[in-house]
Amino acid sequence: MAEALVRPIAALARDLAQGRTTSRELVEVALARIADAGGEGGRAFTKVHAQGALLAADVSDRLRKEGVVPSALAGLPVSIKDLFDIAGDVTTAGSKILRDAASATADAVAVARLRAAGAVVIARSNMTEFAFSGIGINPHYGTPLNPYDRPRRRIPGGSSSGAAVSVADGMAAFALGTDTGGSVRIPAALCGIAGFKPTRARVPLEGAFPLSTTLDSIGPLAPTAACCATVFQILAGEEPRPLVAAALPGLRLGIPKNHMLEDLDIEVMRGFESAIQRLARRGAKLVELAVPEFDEAAKANVGGGISPPEAYAMHRKWIDREQEFDPRVLERIVRGGFVLAADYIELLATRARLARRFTRANYDVDVLVMPTVPRIAPPMEHVERSAESFRLANGNMLRNTYLIN
């Protein structure tokens, strides 16, 4: 039954429009999958809004009968990452520290826009504590396992771990996540779905618990890129419009000859090569090019980059409660307290300078293509073996996505 939700948004919307299903049926399927003891519902979510979702689904079905269908998302169950405010809920951001915080008095702007579009909020999705790793481990609420090769207990990717698992495992039609250094893109890639990090501030950040005020961005996770485009238009407050596919003949695909394509797992390398060759056979032109900005960005990020000092500024008031932190997250936050103001300012200036150079005028290509991650999802036991194994795995997960920021 869960497979009923692991379908493109357009197909689900078509089934609803033609009366082949109802919002209530879709929500019931999602709730059944969440409650399945053999699945990941108990770890993928920090709170399930079962009754509220069923009521919202019934309202959606009644409105549809009256001809009121706000958008293609109307009646579809969505999971919300647990760093977005939902009126009446405590926003824990995957932490123990915020467990007893005051409940939110209003929805985050992104959540409010999804509700206005008719989406049905089904649950709050689990995440890396304070969104600060690309692995997806959470010692407080459990870690949802990757739906692929579950017997090997592979990581889901982070920080939007529950978001990705909720979509890939049929517990939501799409998910709302955030991405600072890869937190939408990484779990989407590892769980076999699509994830999109928009340009920062295209989606308002009000009501989303911050990690990095410079790099935070809100984005969707969904079965396909077209699904992500549909959700993004709603999140950005844009008029819905069809996603027009680019004509492949003559399209110039830039393939950066940097460390982004080095030291790849064989499965990643084969998948990437297969994808670009399929595009080439359809008429796209493959253009290998050096991108010195990536090399410079990698050097600038050696000390951790912009996120640690900005995270420290946000979390330093809680540092003395270290026993309540995930130690792997706390280590990265504390590191930010040792960054000098002059070095932080230089990082911001370097980022701005590289962004000014990294333009289409300087690179005669239409698109840059590269693997999202250099590794397939490793088993949890390999990542949790030691602090060093976690650092290495986290660095590998973030290696390619972080540079794009």
- Choose among 384, 356, 235, 203: nearest CA to 293: 356
Find out whether 130 and 211 touch, Cβ atoms under 8 Å.
Answer: yes
Instruction: Return d(Cα 317, Cα 314) in angstroms, integer.
Output: 8
Catalytic residue among 81, 95, 161, 307: 81
User: Residue 305 is encoded by which pair of tokens?
Assistant: 């980059």
State how far the alpha carbon of 397 is from the alpha carbons of 161, 182, 189, 291, in Å: 13, 8, 10, 20
23-35 helix and 50-65 helix, angle to the nearest 10 degrees: 160
Q: How remote is the C-alpha of 249 from its chain's centroid?
A: 31
Find out whether 362 and 142 touch, Cβ atoms under 8 Å.
Answer: no
Q: For this structure, is 81 an active site residue?
A: yes
Instruction: Give per-residue burial for 43-60: e unless 16+ CB within 10 Å, then b.
Output: bbbbbbbbeebbebbebb
Instruction: Return d(Cα 397, Cα 137) in angstroms, integer.
Output: 13
Catalytic residue among 60, 95, 133, 183: 183
DSSP state of 202: S
Instruction: Return d(Cα 94, Cα 133) in angstroms, integer.
Output: 12
Catalytic residue among 60, 125, 159, 160: 159
3-state secondary structure of 214: coil
Q: For this structure, is 299 an active site residue?
A: no
Residue with tokens 């939700």: 5
Q: For this structure, is 217 an active site residue?
A: no
341-357 helix and 292-300 helix, angle to the nearest 10 degrees: 170
Active site residues: 81, 159, 183
